[in-house]
Amino acid sequence: MHQTRPRRSVLYMPAANERALEKAKSISTDALIFDLEDAVSPDAKDAARANAVAAASSGAYGKREITIRCNGLDTPWGADDLAAAAKSCAHAVVIPKVDSVATLEEVSRRLDAAGAPVSMTVWCMLETPTAIFDARAICAHPRVSVLVMGTNDLAKELRATQVPSRHPLIPHLAQALLAAREAGKPILDGVFNDIKNTEGLRDECMQGKDMGFDGKTLVHPDQVDVANDVWAPTESEVDHARRVIAAFTDATNQGKGVVQLDGKMIENLHVVNAERIIATADAIAELSA
């Protein structure tokens, strides 16, 4: 059975806010992004960088996946962000507005030059028209481990109106999803800004899950429980997955060419999906232990 890491909820935390970084230790999110970019004013960039590195290196966040979102290399802070993050214990760096493989090559070169471990990967944000057109090549880059949709910036770039259904963005989200699936890499849905609208958040999470996203990036701790609930396999889904695997195994051992369960045909693709569901449930249980 293949291994997986849950990323149902991935929470941005402003690295300039020490109280927020402290609070993050007790939030039940699967992963954290210590943000040095949008959530930090120019005069707080240096302090935020130091805070993020210290937090990522502290070991105080349990089994959560820890990442640092750097400023772009076209800003005055990006190079220093990468150099500092490389020496932290973060699992990955999050790079905004990646438009090309050339940008990823430069990021990777700088990480290596700064002494980053080979295990430190890149979470790549797709948030421009160019990124969508080049998504296939970007997703295939070997240092990229996770794709993150920057839906706010993408909508702005497209001059699209953000409606509850996100209808104007659907074709572009689908294109990015296909690229991520071809590359065999997880992809996270973009943020939901209306932090008081729990029903709207749940609807958008359900839409994202139905489309195929592996989880959602979030801007507020109050959003975590909704995302965790939507993307967690239910007991009935786990039970059905176990039955699928058992039925397929029994039929294979008996040399049967046709496998049925509850009157429905079972193929290898159903077994793969069942294994993924069980692996996800086991990983969530391990994270919560």
**What are the tens digits of pLDDT across the range 102-125?**
999 999 999 999 999 999 999 999
Closest by CA to 165, choosing from 234, 229, 221, 211, is 211
State mean pLDDT over 35-59: 97
Give the pLDDT of residue 1: 38
Q: How many CA atoms within 13 Å lie on the side-chain side of 234?
A: 4
282: alpha, beta or left? (left if phi > 0; alpha if psi -120 to 50): alpha
Residue with tokens 């958040």: 201
> pTM (2 decimals)?
0.93
Contact 282, 242 (CB under 8 A): no
Query: CA 42, CA 53: separation in Å to the nearest integer?
Result: 18
The pLDDT confidence band at residue 2, using thresholds 50, 70 and 90, is very low
Nearest to 142 by CA among 190, 206, 185, 94: 185
Tokens linked to 77: 């802070």
Domain boundaries, the chain: 9-231, 235-288
Output 255 or 65, whichever has higher pLDDT: 65
Of the options 3.40.50.720, 3.20.20.60, 3.40.50.800, 3.40.140.10, the CATH number for the domain spanning 9-231: 3.20.20.60
